[in-house]
Structure formats: C-alpha cells, structure tokens
Amino acid sequence: MKQLIIVWVALIGLSTCQTKNEEKVNPINEVSAPETENMTHDEAMKLVKIKEHNVKKVGVLVYDGVNDLDALGPRYVFKNIMGTNVMTIALKPGNVKTVMGLEFVPDTTIDNVNNLDILVIPGGFKETIKNVYNEELLQWIRDIDKTTQYTTSVCTGGWILGKTGLLNGKKATGNWFRAEEILAENGAIFTGERYTQDGKYWTSAGVTAGTDMSLAIMTELTGEDYTQAVMLDMEYDPEPPIEGGSVEKTKPEVLHFMQTMYASMADPVFKEMEAEQDSIPNNKVKSYGNRQAIINGNDLSGILKLDTTLSRKYNYAIGPVKGLQGEITVYNDTISISTVVSGKPSVSEDTRTEAIFLLQANQKDWNEIATTKQLNGLNDIESYIENSLIENGMEVSKAYPFRIETTVPSMEYHIIFKTDNKPHNKKEHQKAKQKFTLENEPVKIIGFWVDEARVGKLTHSGKRTHLHFMTKDKRTSGHVDAVVIPKGSILYLPKSN
C-alpha cells in the first residue's frame, strides 16, 4: 500500500508535466514481465499510460435509508482519482443512517452545492421511493445536471434520476426489480446491462454494479493503466462462490421468492406516496427561475420540463417557453402552450415543453366568490384580490394561486415569441411580445399573488400579481395585459387544508 501511494504521487507529478491534451499519454513500450523485474521504480513509471482529466468535484448523494455500497462503492473508486474532491451530499444537516445501520456525518448538503463534475445518485428502498416524489431534490438534480460532465445513478437511484425527466429517450439500466417497467414510466429505454452509458448519463444495476460503473468512468477519465492500479489496490477480482447475482443466473424459485418479497415491501410505499400526491397540500406556490434574469438578457434555455414538474394533480402554472418561444398556461392539469404561427395564435398541449421560469401550485379546494363590482384592468384586479384575501382571513404576505372564470367584454393579451438571435434586454423583450385581443369571450384566468420577496422577479416591477388565461374552448391562451372583469364573475381563492 505504501509503495502504491508513492506510485500515485509520482504518477500525478508525471501527469501534470504533460501538455494540456486529454488524450495525451505517457510513452509505452511492450515489455514482458521478466524485463520489468530489474527496472527501477522511475523506469517502470515511464511505461504507465496516464490520461489527463478535468474532473475536480464529485458529489455522492446520501440520505437516510441509502444503500451502503450504492454510495460507498463509487465513493471509494472516485476517491482514487487524483486531483478530485469527493463529497457526500445530504438532503439536510445532521447524520445520515444507511439501510444497514451505518451512521455518519455527510460532508455537506444540497443547499450548499450548485455545481459538480460528477453526480452519483445511489439507491435504497423505502426512503428512495419517497425521494422519487421529493420535488425539491428532483429540481436540485436538474439544476446540478446542467453543470456535470457525468450524471450517474446506482441501483434504485435510477428511479430518482428517471423521475427528473433527464433519462427520457435515453438508454438506461437499474435494479432488477421491475426495472424495465419503472424506467419506461420515465421514458427511458431499458438495456438490462450491468451498466449503461448514453452520452453523459451513466446508470448501473444494483449495488455492486455501481462499483463497476465507477471503474468504467475512471477508465474513460484516466486510462486503463491507472484503473488497473486502483483495481489491484482494491484487489478487485470478484469470484463469487456460487452462480447468481443476476436474474439470468438465479433459480426460478429463488427469483420468484425475491420478486414477491420486494413487491410486498415496495407496493405499500408506492401506494402511500401516491395517496399523498392525491392529498395535495393547498396554497403552496412554487417558483422556478427568475423573470428578471430574462429581462436582463441572461440564459434563455429551459430549466425544467412540464412532464416532470407537473407530476401531481390539480396543477396550475404560468411561465414562458424556453428561448421565449411562447407562453405556458396550465389550468387544473389542462396544458396550453401558445405560440405564433404566420402572425396568428396557435396552441398545443405538448408536455415536453421546457420553461425558462415557472410559477406553479397544486390546489384542489377553492372558495367561490362572486365579484361585487366590475374590475377595469390589472390594477383593479390586484386591489380586489388583496381585499378579498384580507376579508377571507388570509395573510397577504404569503403567495397564493387564484383564478377567475367569466366572459370578458374585452381583453388584451400577448404571446412572447422571439424571432431573432439578438442579445435580450428590456427593449428586445417588448419587441418579442406578439399582441392580440378578445371580445365577449368565455375565459379561465389563472393568476398568482406573490409574496413581497418575489415581486419583480416573477411579476412585473412593483406588481403582486401575474395573470395568464385560456379560452373556455382552449383555442388560445397567453399573458393578460388588460382586461375587464364584469360584476358577478366567479373569483376562486384557495382553501387551506
């Protein structure tokens, strides 16, 4: 071991002397074992191939109930890549206890990590299933994925990665239990391999397969010689005492026993989580991204897909399409993506649409209020919403969805539709607004009253509300600029649980 450490130090020194070229390797001659016996340490070192790499930060996600080897196998391998900082990343501060009872203090939490070169998502069982429904974690993974060179999963960690939508249309593998079914639910193509690569996405089968996958990534980064040295240090040369370890090598009766045992444990948890999705906590408004960043000309790429974000019921959401190529309006799970074709509004229900930013809430129960006067414009509506919140005992310092169903005498609206590649700013933003009008049209308006911290970030400057609409017949939708709401229209304010 001590000698190997000396080799490591020498190898890394030799590697840093090379010019910047990922594929550049040290010279090598084919030398037989007898010829190497009399070589000095320095002479032998010159025969070892070492590829350069630029991986600096590796993060292994950990959580209560994580499978020990799912996390620690890849961690051990990646810790042997010189020049990398390998961190265990927890969902929250405090100790983590694995499925086998190992308790340890993680290095950091997801709140403190905004970029990684390699992300490892290990599996487990009950807590893994719960994390499949943890939208905060799923969004963190989507955000981190934008920075990674490798996004990976081990075992049932693929269930979590799949739920983010990042495996949609990609080849993948995972834990043997219902692997094809669960991956297919998230649009992935099951390979059945021990580990699978599709672009930067690497997925592995269960537990020990994560170590194989990590060694394969190490080989891609550092070369076979470096990986072989690490494998020798690990004495990694598995020889199981009996045949088994895969569906194909397991006796039918043993396989059936394991399938029924897994199902008896997994199905109640899936049912519990699905029931929880049906019992939606009301009033919680989520926001993704920042409208102000768009106005200031920052990245116009999509930050999330609707099919992954709208995974629960009773969805209401508004926001712009990536590249400012349209408007997103979601009204009680009905999706309307409005764009402009030949100067006219055009709508679709494409769930694969990506949003630049999004205001979203899941709201099942509502209070109905008939408006007591005509509301002339957005300022009138905002004042009326504020007064109605107060009258209904709701805190105006919080954020809420609201909706209005009526026939509007008149409405002005726009669909953001950028037609050039000019750098974006306030002036270009106004130019990108394609404006239209409606008269005497039955509509459904979805709006959000935002908390003060998000004023200007998710609404227009100084405004507490942001409104979209869709016509009752779904033929058009967009961003409300001006509208008259007749007296007696139905205003819906959210009920609390």
Q: Give catalytic residue positions.
A: 155
Q: Which of 121, 143, 117 minimizes the C-alpha distance to 132?
A: 121
Let me know if 156 is exposed, middle or buried by CB neighbors in 10 A (0-12, 13-18, 19+): buried
Distance CA 132, CA 162 (A): 9
Task: Read off the DSSP letter of residue 313.
Answer: S
> Hey, what are 117's tokens?
């070169």
CA R_g for the chain: 28
Phi, psi of 183 (to 5 degrees): -65, -40
Cα 165 from chain centre: 7
Query: Under a CB-based contact definition with an 8 Å cutoff, are residues 171 and 199 in contact?
Result: no
Start-end of H helices in 426-489 = 426-431
DSSP 384-426: HHHHHHHHTT--TTS-EEEEEEEEEEEEEEEEEB--S-PPP-H
Neighbours of 324 (CB within 10 A): 20
CA angle 464, 450, 416 (to 5 degrees): 75
Confirm if 448 and 358 have CB atoms less than 8 A apart.
no
Q: Rounded to an integer, what distance in angstroms lies between the CA atom of residue 348 and that of residue 332?
A: 16
Q: How far apart are CA 195 and CA 149, in angstroms?
A: 17
Which residue in this structure is represented by tokens 């088994």?
Answer: 244
Distance CA 436, CA 434 (A): 7
